A and B are shown apart, each in its own frame.
Chain A
Amino acid sequence: MTQFTGAEIFVKSLLKLKTALIFGYPGGVVLPIYDELFKNPQLRHILVRHEQGAVHMADGYARATGKVGVALVTSGPGATNTVTGIATAYMDSIPIVVFTGQVPTALIGNDAFQEADIIGITRPCVKHSYLVRDVKQLAPTIAEAFYIASTGKPGPVLVDIPRDVATNKSTFNFPEKVELRSYKPTKSGHQRQIEKLADALENSKKPVFYVGGGVISANAAGELSKLAKHTHTPVTETLMGLGSFDSSHNLHLGMLGMHGTYRANMAMTDADLVVALGARFDDRVTGKIDEFAPHAKIAQVDVDPTSISKNVKCDIPVVGDLSDVLKKLNVAVKKRKVPWKSKTKEWVQQIDEWRSSNTLAYKTKKNVIKPQFVLEEINKITKGDAIYTTEVGQNQMWAAQYLTLTKPRTFLTSGGLGTMGYGFPAAIGAQAAFPNKIVIDIAGDASIQMNIQELGTAVQQNLPVIIVILNNGFLGMVRQWQQLFYENRYAYSCMEHQPDFVKLAEAYGAFGARVTKPEEVAPAIKKAIKLKKPAIIDCVVEREENVYPMVPAGAPINKMLLA
């Protein structure tokens, strides 16, 4: 049998898995692998500027496509630089595989040059990890890593490859099928539980679907839409669930929780049945947990049994893949002769009433750009046909509240970890997957500086991501909390010195524009789209605008502060 080096096996395995793209950064111990990449240009590699960027790009690629994102870095500092990216993907259950180089097996544990115990360091934030100690194990391990990352509740998998494993030889023993006795994710939902859930829907007068990122990762948005429309049930989404239901539909409630819409939070508080679909009752969603959905029976569908009843006790648990369960649920509700529409008529009327209070209205000011206005301008330009990413803070919440989202996998944001610096590299990953789409990172002036170096990557690869900075000169969300809960003491939340973002863009070879008046916003963004070049649109916005509604941390979600 032909023998191959570990590096050759690495490339052959990735090609076998139909990997189109690797985001990576070379260094000493991964040079044998990089040499193979050099010889195999059909496996595209994007050179990043910082390993954190590589992992966020792989993550953005994965969120936008549903495929496994791949990053490759060297040992020691290369590996430790990936940790925030891995934790970000872990918290949001994103399928990525991160390959780290490791010092030769004989040196492991010796504090060798550029050695880091990356398996130990990342253990609490990976779905699984492997140290490959024998080249014979390399191909089977890569196959397993992809399988584990992408099945069940998806998540990041780390594969640590010592240098000698990359140079030793073995046959190419890539398994046709991965079978693990200790890992058998539940796919199909239990029929009896599904019928129970259908009964509950039939008997409910005030039902709500509470939708999380699980619906998107299971590609179940289509089934959800059918179900909601057929049963005439309103839908609210978490930050991670945004895009799974058409935001222009009248059953759409928008986001719930801390910065949720008035109607979503009121509906949850008033509901008699809450059906959680791939959502995990995060504290940002539930507010004060004892007063969360106090009148409702709780049903929960999740592929991960550990999510069920974790924070809120669930009356009707269904474990299974959401696309399977929702398909079966659609069949189950269609079998029932229920006048669905009239059953929830009053409920939907009540929701329309809440909606009409329009708590997302904001005060406009002449000659001042309101951050919300920028997002509305973007809606008009893209008509929803774009992929958005966000940074973290006010920019993220306004994006969640104001962007028109009609399709899943078009709103990529760090929900669980809340990682500033996520949005821009994630946008590069999404743009690499969809070179012809408009990809916009909604940014804050602070967050964008956390991974701004990736402008180099975007320009080198000609990936025309548009960064729209809502520039308030503050760590805006921190300032908002300090204003509301710390009596206006703005402790270290003002960025007194900022770079000239236009010059910065230009220095990298990107397009830059600074806008200070409302009427300049749309032309600048249109120009960036037309140029098909990476761009920064630096929008100088109202400095002390707050995100409303807001539920103070720990308060019940119907007790919202309004603008």
Chain B
Amino acid sequence: MRHTISVLVENKFGVLSRVSGLFSGRGFNIESLSVAPTMDTSTSRMTIITRGDDAIVEQITKQLNKLIDVIKVSDFKNEEYVDREIVLVKVNAEPNNRAEILRMTEIFRGKVVDVSPKTYTLEVTGSEGKVNAFIEMIKHLGIIEIARSGKVAISRGRRTLG
């Protein structure tokens, strides 16, 4: 099972290694991880995507809770949250495929954020599925490099983590 775990932590040095250490110490892979301060700059939010047996993930979330610098942990269930990811894609922009690139980017409501004589850099935001689909669609045009943010997630409705 894939899990989206949202963790509110004290914004202190060393927190990231403590959190990631819990995963690596158990031989668990983190598929993606994003961290940034929240509105209250003394705290940060991490969104961690991991895959594993429910019981083990439950154990990990309990262990996360036990870390002194962790304020709150939530293992999001399917319908409870929205998530988004951003991708930056650098593609070959030859005269013969520029129109196609722009069309695809438009369809995915993306933007061109950087241009050079031979390349375009595109930005697309959306669910993971949408980002995957976009990459799939422009693959044949010659992707040079990709940077994905990893997912950020937030609970739906009025519920909050912190």
Contact = CB atoms under 8 A, between A and B. Distances in A.
Interface of A: 119-120, 123-124, 127-129, 131, 148, 180-183, 304-306, 310
B70 interface: yes
B46 to A, nearest CB: 13
A122 to B, nearest CB: 11
Contacts of A182: 9-10, 68-71
6 contacts: A123-B18, A123-B21, A182-B9, A182-B69, A182-B71, A310-B59
Given A182-B10, A306-B63, A310-B59, A120 B69 contact: no
B103 interface: no
B96 interface: no
Contacts of A183: 68
A306 B25 contact: no
A180 B13 CA distance: 17
Contacts of B17: 120, 123
A548 B159 CA distance: 57
A180 B68 CA distance: 9
Contacts of A129: 14
A146 to B, nearest CB: 13
A81 B65 CA distance: 30
B2 interface: no
B65 A305 contact: yes
B130 interface: no
Contacts of A305: 62, 65-66
Most chain A CB within a 10 A radius of its CB, from B13, B25, B59, B68? B68
B68 A306 contact: no
A305 B63 CA distance: 9
A148 to B, nearest CB: 6
A123 B13 CA distance: 13
Contacts of B62: 305-306
A78 B21 CA distance: 24
B63 to A, nearest CB: 5
Nearest to A157: B68
Contacts of B14: 119, 129, 131
Contacts of A180: 68
A304 B66 contact: yes
Given A124-B25, A305-B62, A310-B59, A181 B18 contact: no
Contacts of B18: 123
Contacts of B25: 124
Given A304-B66, A305-B66, 11 more contacts: A120-B17, A124-B21, A127-B68, A128-B68, A131-B13, A181-B71, A182-B68, A305-B62, A305-B65, A306-B59, A306-B62
A517 B14 CA distance: 58
B117 to A, nearest CB: 41
Contacts of A128: 68
Nearest to A123: B21
Contacts of A123: 17-18, 21
A181 B21 CA distance: 22
Contacts of A131: 13-14
Nearest to A183: B68
A148 B66 contact: no
A119 B13 CA distance: 11
Contacts of A148: 68
- Name the residue in A180, A305, A306 with the highest tally of chain B Cβ atoms < 10 Å from its Cβ: A306
A306 B21 contact: no
Interface string B1-18: 000000001100110011
A182 B25 CA distance: 22
B55 to A, nearest CB: 8
B38 to A, nearest CB: 13
Q: Closest 8 CB pairs between A and B?
A: A306-B62, A128-B68, A182-B71, A183-B68, A306-B63, A124-B25, A305-B62, A123-B21
A553 to B, nearest CB: 22
Residue of A131, A148, A183, A304 with most chain B CB atoms under a 10 A cut-off: A183
Contacts of B63: 306
B25 to A, nearest CB: 6
Nearest to B64: A306
Nearest to B10: A182
A365 to B, nearest CB: 48
Interface string B43-86: 00000000000000001001101101111000000000000000
A503 B21 CA distance: 48
Nearest to A185: B66
A307 B13 CA distance: 28
Nearest to A305: B62
A245 to B, nearest CB: 29
A366 B63 CA distance: 55
Contacts of B69: 182
A131 B70 CA distance: 17
A461 B21 CA distance: 41
A128 B26 CA distance: 19
Contacts of A124: 21, 25
Nearest to B15: A182
Contacts of B59: 306, 310
A131 B18 CA distance: 14
B71 to A, nearest CB: 4
A176 B79 CA distance: 45
A136 to B, nearest CB: 15
